[in-house]
Amino acid sequence: MSEASLEPSRKPPLIAIDGPAAAGKGTLAQSLAGKLDLPYLDTGLLYRAIGKLMRDAGQDLDDPTAATSVAEKLAPDDLRRTDLRGREAGELASRVAIHPGVRAALLAFQRDFAHGSRGAVLDGRDIGTVICPDADVKLYVTASAEVRARRRTDELLAKGRAVEYEAILAEVKARDARDSGRAEAPLRPADDAIVIDTSALGPAEVLATALSIVENWREGRRVSAGGGERR
């Protein structure tokens, strides 16, 4: 393991976690926030809420003006909807997130949450690159498209949904292409992010890796190999 010595830190960390759908970033973010007693924001819920609100109102999700208007009026209570975790909401979120006006409207909301005095954990797709480029710890959680599709298929089958792996794989790849090809804030690791590939790791192993990375930060060490790969 290669490390560079920095000053130890006693302040609560601001942790940015990015990555594609079904890679495990949400599970990691929630567990990490719980372990470290930090406020947690799933920024994907913001976009999911906008998508659902537009669908409920019969609006065109591909209309940037309409989407931006909804984003500008988004309220904290909108994030408490019980239908924001499903597959449909994820697809709707991916569609509205491409609009620059939507991203601009949500920028202040996310940054205000992130820069509170208690530290924070935020997960999404551009936290380390756009929302919080000053984050103390930046993680990029990923896995192969095949592994992510298998996880999603198994999850849906367990819920009694009739789905086929090949169809889910096609959706995963299409979403990856859409998110990575965005003109503004494309899905990618920040230059100083540590990449954690979860393809062959369970949630407990991923959490242990992340906790080790945070501990290295607290002790004034930056990991460049091992315990995640410094990009």
pLDDT tens-place string over residues 89-146: 988 998 998 898 998 999 988 999 999 889 999 999 899 999 999 999 999 999 999 9
Token pair, residue 86, equals 């499903």
What rounded mean pLDDT belongs to the chain? Answer: 89
pLDDT score recorded for residue 148: 96
Q: CA-CA distance, 150 to 129, in Å (whole number)?
A: 28
Token pair, residue 208, equals 């242990």
Dihedral, CA of residue 28, residue 192, residue 18 and residue 171, to nearest 10:
-120
Region(s) of the chain under CATH 3.40.50.300: 1-39+119-144+185-231
Check whether domain 1-39+119-144+185-231 has CATH 3.40.50.300, yes or no: yes
Token pair, residue 199, equals 């393809």
Q: Which tens digits make up the pLDDT trace of 21-56?
A: 899 999 999 999 999 999 999 898 999 999 999 999
Token pair, residue 215, equals 């501990």
3 state SS of 191: coil
Which has the closest alpha carbon to 187: 113, 52, 93, 54?
Answer: 93
